[in-house]
Structure 1
Amino acid sequence: MKLSSDALDALMPMHLSISADGKVRHVGPTLLKLMHHVCSEGRHFTDVLEVYRPKRAETVPMLLDLAGRRLQTRLRCRAKATLKGLVVPDGDGGAIVNLSFGIGVVDAVRMHTLTSTDFAVTDLAIDMLYLVEAKSAAMEASRTLNRRLQGAMLVAEQRSFTDALTGLRNRRAMDEALKRLIRGGECFALLHLDLDFFKQVNDTKGHAAGDHVLRVVAKIMLELTRKSDLVARVGGDEFVLILSGLRDRTRLADLADRLIGRIEQPIEVDGDLCQVSASIGIAFNHPDATPLETAEELLERADEALYSAKRHGRAQHAFSVSEPEKEDR
């Protein structure tokens, strides 16, 4: 039984129907799409298709001699597509050549903008394309999920190192920074700042007012320090400033005085004024000291200097007693 062109188009969208004299009678719709819809009917099949393996075929008898064998072919049009092929007799002395992309179907679909409608409904290529699309969608979903997870991890890590009330670093962040700087042999100054008269604000104005004062003080410290410096809230009204590379006593004294002066300015809370001050203890890390100090020892020296400032009247700064009078940095 001879099949109509419509039937062949449905069963083999990439077929070539060739008459006994070698002329192209019909081209399947998908194959025609690859040929950019250039009509090839009436032309000799060798002007359309090159059969070069298992051996060259330039006539219909030569082509039929390869019936049932796997062919390697190449379109001669602009597409220059390399295709797999199978030839069968058509019963009228001619031949039907069915072509396919083989394992290159995925690349061919992208290159030639093909869809599932360009393949026979029974073609396994459709299932393969669905699998490829499903895999691509799954990989994209996985990448999106990974990006979200990484973002969430970064946010969580950032929160774990941040004081929720002031937005400053917290004690954990300070501990990590101190360990890293000491381990790396870095020179730096550590300022331990404690607010004076803060308890009175909480007792008389309430904790909401106290929270507002803490946020204002945090903002002042950020404004007067460098972006590379670390400012951390380590207790209720206690703060630590780590100033990397800075060990000049004059500059540090000036910074401490400016911090105290700004913090002493009245802070408005709901139309009322709150006033606090600050005492500051200053210690230096000595990377050339023997033995090297630990973070705890450095904090203890800054703490001792802080309470020395408080004993001498508050609202002032003091250097650790173990620091030399002059620094070379």
Structure 2
Amino acid sequence: MDQNGDLVATMDVLCPMHVHLDCVGRIVHAGPTLAKLYPDGDLIGQRFLEAFELNRPHGVSSMECLLQVQGKKLHLKKRSDPQTGLKGVLMPHGDGAIVNLSFGISILDAVREYELNARDFAATDLTIEMLYLVEAKSAAMEASRKLNQRLQGAKIAAEEQAYTDTLTGLKNRRALDYILPRMVEETTPFGLLHVDLDFFKEVNDTKGHAAGDLVLQHVAKVLVDSSRDDDVVARVGGDEFVLVINGTTDADVLGRISQRIIKEVERPVPYKDSLCQVSASVGIAIHTGEVGASVDQLMADADAALYASKHDGRATFTLFTPDLRDSGPLALHS
């Protein structure tokens, strides 16, 4: 290989984004990385100022002018798409010149656009270090994103568990205490059914807690089947449940829902070689959406209606009326 060939090979390793210009500014050789910016191979033979638009210094329009800005930083970009921005410096060489180019701050876009990697840069180029840092940062960010997703998932699962009754899968009292005040605050009208089981203690005492758990799961299914997706079904005590019928304040509709619940709850539940049978009493209170309503008063009204159902012989429902407030509290455990 002659001396000129040795120089070309050396420059391709040390400055893989350089170009050799002849005496009239025509490109006669391009480094391997720069050649990747022109995959069709149409760079060789073009005049340098036809292939690249020189933005600074201004007024450079010929090879003679280029030679006058030797050693100065050149700000330029490709004329062909994509019009990647470049930095450069020119030094005379023989009858022509050598221009060494780099991507500058557009390096990350260029790496993606032209699918470049570390082998496309000189081993001592700080670009390689930056690419490694970017890759490490990307890996760290991806790991952080996945960790955040897992943490968020764990948080959601923990919150869901905190608001869920583990036996029945219904919402628990904590969930109801969170939901009801917000529905009242948002003046959302709804009907509230307070459901209490009759004779449940007898099932627990005679057949055991496993039988009682089976009955509670049966009741939970009845309540879910009697509600819609935007309704709220909660187990708020041992054998007490609350059903919030969102947007429904019609007493007849709430009565029919209560009748269905009472009928389905009374269906015997098979347990081993026997049947477990309970009934349900229901108290109904209605929130019409009025501003300033009290959740405590609403629950107290439902309790009063439930007490009236118990007093009337159980397995029935009662719609709250103001005169029921004089009935007084009563422990409602069968």
Partner residue, 2:186: 184
Matched, 1:89 2:92: yes
SS of the aligned residue for 2:205 comes to: helix
Contact 1:17 1:26 in 2 (8 A): yes
Partner residue, 1:218: 220
Q: 2:62 aligns with which of 58, 64, 68?
A: 58
The one-letter amino acid of 2:87's match is K
Matched, 1:71 2:74: yes
Partner residue, 2:132: 130
Whole-angstrom distance in 2 between the partners of 1:294 and 1:25: 87
Contact 1:283 1:323 in 2 (8 A): no
1:222-258 CA-to-partner distances (Å, cap 9, x unmatched) read: 1112333221111001111222333333333222222
- TM-superposed CA distance for 1:82, in Å, is 3.6
- TM-superposed CA distance for 1:269, in Å, is 2.1
1:91-123 CA-to-partner distances (Å, cap 9, x unmatched) read: x33321111111111111111111111111111
Partner residue, 1:308: 308
Matched, 1:206 2:224: no
Partner residue, 2:174: 172
Partner residue, 2:118: 116
Contact 1:35 1:78 in 2 (8 A): no
Whole-angstrom distance in 2 between the partners of 1:283 and 1:83: 74
Whole-angstrom distance in 2 between the partners of 1:228 and 1:155: 20
Matched, 1:16 2:19: yes
Whole-angstrom distance in 2 between the partners of 1:243 and 1:50: 70
Whole-angstrom distance in 1 between the partners of 2:229 and 2:80: 64
Which stretch of structure 1 is more off in the superposition, 263-272 or 130-139?
130-139
Identical-pair percentage:
48
Contact 2:85 2:106 in 1 (8 A): no
- Give the count of matched residue pairs: 320
The one-letter amino acid of 1:311's match is H
1:250-303 CA-to-partner distances (Å, cap 9, x unmatched) read: 3332222221111111111234311111111222336559xx653222222322
The one-letter amino acid of 1:227's match is D
The one-letter amino acid of 2:161's match is R
Matched, 1:282 2:284: yes
Partner residue, 2:327: none
- TM-superposed CA distance for 1:193, in Å, is 1.1
Whole-angstrom distance in 2 between the partners of 1:310 and 1:295: 23
Unaligned runs of 5+ in 1: 325-329
SS of the aligned residue for 1:4 comes to: helix
The TM-score normalised by the length of structure 1 is 0.86
Whole-angstrom distance in 2 between the partners of 1:169 and 1:284: 20
Whole-angstrom distance in 1 between the partners of 2:221 and 2:187: 30
Distance change in 2, residues 1:159/1:39 (3 Å): same
Q: What is the root-mean-square deviation in Å for CA atoms of aligned residues?
A: 2.7
Partner residue, 2:328: none
Partner residue, 2:269: 267
The one-letter amino acid of 1:65's match is Q
- TM-superposed CA distance for 1:198, in Å, is 1.0
Contact 1:284 1:323 in 2 (8 A): no
SS of the aligned residue for 2:238 comes to: coil
Whole-angstrom distance in 1 between the partners of 2:260 and 2:44: 92
Unaligned runs of 5+ in 2: 325-334
Which stretch of structure 1 is more off in the superposition, 115-124 or 11-20?
11-20
SS of the aligned residue for 2:41 comes to: coil
Whole-angstrom distance in 2 between the partners of 1:124 and 1:130: 10
Partner residue, 2:9: 6
The TM-score normalised by the length of structure 2 is 0.85
Contact 2:67 2:91 in 1 (8 A): yes
Whole-angstrom distance in 1 between the partners of 2:54 and 2:286: 84
